[in-house]
Structure 1
Amino acid sequence: MAAALMLRENDRFFRRERVFLDRYNPLDRPDDFLLRAYRFPRHKIIELCNELRPDLEKATLRSHSIPVELQVLSALRFYASGSFQNVIGDVFGLSQPSISRCINDVTDALVRRINQYIKFPDEAERRTNKSDFYKIAHFPNVVGVIDGTHIPIKAPNDNEYQYVNRKNFHSINVQCICDANFKIINAVFRWPGSTHDSYIWNNSQICRQFEEGDIANGWLLGDSGYALKPWMLVPFMNPSTPAEEEFNRRHCRTRVTIEQLFGIVKSRFRCVHKTGGCLCYVPAKCCRIIAAVFILHNICVDNNIPCLENDNVPDEHNDLNPPLNEGVVLCGNGQQVRRNLAAQFV
């Protein structure tokens, strides 16, 4: 009997006390839960709240306004899951119209800061980009890779046919340029799904900067949907020599970074992925939400926040020192630049 009492006392001594979390404080959770639910750890959510506070804090004497923290968490939950607004409202004890206003206000606050988080690198940063891209497949002088991705949306009432893409669903065609670390350095969010990638590129400001020489001494890598230019290198359509085949292999291994970027963004923020259904808003609001999601992705990259559902990263060759621009002819037309570069690969 005494032995049984002693075992019971020892068991009570070593028993871990249960910790009851505050149901009304969503941040009273461990970081791994916050990463799964909101895609950010606690300290970064708090920093984001403080940054957006001037835009979200409402002065009112009529009733209690929704705290900034709750507005940001509601929007982050929507971006991360793509759930219906009434489902998110049940989580936070808010009505569906209140969740709608939170998403709209947080989205607008983020979009106002787009030039702060999505910007093309300066000359010094472009040199770093070239070095990072070279480590992937020994392709020199690359400052970015470009492609478009389709974000599914609800069929709009006006000009519905313009939003039907080649895969026969309604979408926004988003053009992105990224660096070797999956950071977005340029993006265009305003074109309907039927618009061709090359048309978006030709009507973009970044294209004019390359054409006018404002951005020089570097290449973008695109797929065959883009026109070959001295600053835009695309693969050989029908490679006929070992040099052309090697060019295509290196080009493909380097350019796949942009495809991996889209996979990471859509895994991290399910509201822009087809598994989340579609964005059920008018196209203009869909474009703002997409822009906000891409801004949040860059914040994750800048702060080394992991993507829990996607591990696609390019191969690293850290022992290589890239010869930036050595022996590469940067003048002439696109055909000449591509031929001169391919000749170095054999």
Structure 2
Amino acid sequence: MAAGHRAIVRDRMYLRQVPRPRVFRDRSNPLEDLREEEIFARYRFRPDTIYFIVDLCQAAARDTGRCFAIPLVLCVLSYLRFLATGAFQLTVGDTVNLSQPTVSRVCRQVGQVLSALADRYICFPSGDRVRQVKQQFGAMAGFPNVVGVIDCTHVSIKKPSANPEDYIGRKGIPTINVQDYISSSDVAREDTRCTNLAPMCTPKEVLRRYDHVVYDLINGYIGDMQGFLLADSGYACTRYMLTPYMNPVGEAQARYNGALCRTRVTVEQTFGILKQRFQVLRRKLNCYPERACVHIRNCITLHNLGIDRRDIVAVDPIDPNDNPHYHGVDVGDNMDGRAAREYVTRMYFER
């Protein structure tokens, strides 16, 4: 038995001494081999936009000292493929002939570069853009002085090791609660721009920090714009953020609720566009909250970048009457909010 064990050890030592054959993988550019429709189906952007993203990610390129370094375009394509499909890194690597550790490394590098560009593409409107937004929303449903709509969506993540109970969402699984403010309503062209309003944090953290984060930003930005932000009944009605009547009385309040729902449906449609374009948001992000927040923010950055370049994805329209989102909970309406809502109802929806 000892002799057999020595033979096994000897064979293993011999195998270790045999050098592995060096494999030179195919580094051809898929953008040069596929048609434009095939590229869009796989990476959710058209070739000219992908090359534009590659130019933005030049900071991710580094000199490895190797003869066959990975081209930057393959690094970007790997990350776009990951966001577009939500697949395992091994599966993503098979599409561009990269190993799983390499895909993990390049996704981290490209993700960090895109995250640094978030402030360039995720921002509140200003100047003439505010007036244009008000006109767009007014033309949609006749709701006056609307500068945006707000809502949240949940993205499933890997259960964190620290304080996992704080990340349990309403469905009993760990999630990231994403608060977004939509500042455009041109849904006929799917031109709905996302502006991240609150930090991407857990549901309980959002509830604890509402007064200090969300509403302070609303008072600061929306107040300066002299307009309103529309939300569903899960939010508190404030001077600058209007919510629907839970039990409308009279035709004026019913017309107010109808106009609010027809306007607020933009944010629901935008979440649908985001999750249809980036399937990683629809499936489970197999990473911890810090990395998940980077991926989510990059999806929003790329979404807005695609809008700027008119590289958009279509989505089926949502009927606002089928999705009113009346949560039926009391979140503490204040007198200023109710007074503002009554004023808008009386001035614009009474006949």
State TM-score, norm by structure 2.
0.81
With 283-292 and 23-32 compared, the bigger mean Cα shift is at 23-32
Deviations 1:125-162 (A, max 9, x none): 11111001111110010000001110111111111111
Cα distance per residue 1:254-280 (max 9 Å; x no partner): 111111110110000000103xxx111
Corresponding letter in the other structure for 2:343 = N
Aligned to 2:260: 251
CA RMSD of aligned residues (A): 2.1
CA distance in 2, matches of 1:285, 1:186: 17
| Distance change in 2, residues 1:26/1:212 (3 Å) | closer
2:181 is paired with a residue whose SS is strand
**Are residues 109 and 237 of structure 1, via their aligned partners in 2, closer, same or farther at CA, if it must alter by over 3 Å?**
same
Whichever structure has more helix as a proportion of its residues is 2
Judged with a 3 Å threshold, the aligned counterparts in structure 2 of structure 1 residues 32 and 135 are, in CA distance, closer, same or farther, namely same
CA deviation string 1:212-268 (max 9, x = no partner):
576240110011121111101011111111111111111111111111110110000
Amino acid of the structure 1 residue aligned with 2:299? V
Q: Unpaired segments of 5 or more residues in structure 2?
A: 1-25, 187-191, 321-334
1:124 to 122, 128, 153: 128
- 1:171 and 2:175 correspond: yes
How big is the shift at 1:202? 2.6
Q: Which amino acid aligns with 1:211?
A: N
Shift, 1:313, TM fit? 7.1
- Partners of 1:200 and 1:134 lie apart in 2 by 31
- The correspondence for 1:114, drawn from 118, 134, 143, is 118
Q: Corresponding residue for 1:52?
A: 57
Which of 32, 54, 64 pairs up with 2:68? 64
Structure 1 residues 251 and 126: CA distance shift in structure 2, 3 A: same
Is 1:217 aligned to 2:226, yes or no?
Answer: yes
Indicate how the Cα distance of structure 1 residues 62 and 25 shifts in structure 2: closer, same or farther if over 3 A, else same.
Answer: closer
Aligned to 1:38: 43
1:208 aligns with 2:216: yes
CA displacement at 1:171 relative to structure 2: 0.4
Return the letter of the residue paired with 1:284.
E
1:60 Cα shift? 2.8
1:345 equivalenced with 2:349 (yes/no): yes
Question: 1:280-321: per-residue Cα shift (whole Å, max 9, x none)?
Answer: 11110000010001111111111222315x233789xxxxxx
Could you tell me which residue of structure 2 aligns to residue 8 of structure 1? none
Using the TM superposition, give the Cα deviation of residue 189 of structure 1 relative to its aligned residue in structure 2, in angstroms. 4.4
> Tell me, what secondary structure is at the counterpart of 1:190?
coil
Work out which of the residue numbers 280, 288, 294 in structure 2 matches 1:271: 280
1:141 aligns with 2:172: no
- In 2, Cα distance between equivalents of 1:313 and 1:110: 30
Aligned CA distance change for structure 1 residues 107 and 174 (closer, same or farther; 3 Å): same
- Match of 1:235, SS state, is coil
Query: Against the structure 1 CA distance between its residues 38 and 98, is the aligned structure 2 distance closer, same or farther, given a 3 Å change threshold?
Result: same
Q: Is the 8 A contact 1:58 1:65 kept in 2?
A: no
- Distance (whole Å) between structure 2 residues aligned to residue 33 and residue 245 of structure 1: 47
Distance 1:210 1:146 in 2: 10
Output one character per residue of 1:178-232: Cα deviation in whole Å (capped at 9) or x when no partner. 1213101234343114445x5454332x632443576240110011121111101
Q: Partners in 2 of 1:335 and 1:62 — Cα distance?
A: 66
Counterpart-to-counterpart distance in 1, 2:208 and 2:311:
34
How far the C-alpha of 1:62 sits from its partner, in A, is: 4.6
Identity of matched residues, %: 35
Q: 2:304 aligns with which of 279, 298, 306?
A: 298
Structure 1, unpaired ranges of 5+: 1-21, 316-331
Question: Which residue in the other structure is 1:155 paired with?
Answer: 159
Residue in structure 2 matched with residue 333 of structure 1 by the alignment: 336
Q: Is the 1:173–1:195 contact (alpha carbons within 8 Å) kept by the matching residues of 2?
A: no
Looking at structure 1, the residues matched to 295 and 196 of structure 2 have their Cα atoms a distance apart, in angstroms, of 16
Which residue does the alignment assign to 1:89?
93
Corresponding residue SS for 2:57: helix
Letter paired with 2:44 = R
Q: How far has the Cα of 1:78 moved from its partner?
A: 0.4
| Aligned partners of 2:49 and 2:306 also within 8 Å | no
Contact 1:170 1:193 (8 Å CA) reproduced? no
Cα pair distance change 1:230/1:151, threshold 3 Å: same
Paired residue for 1:7? none
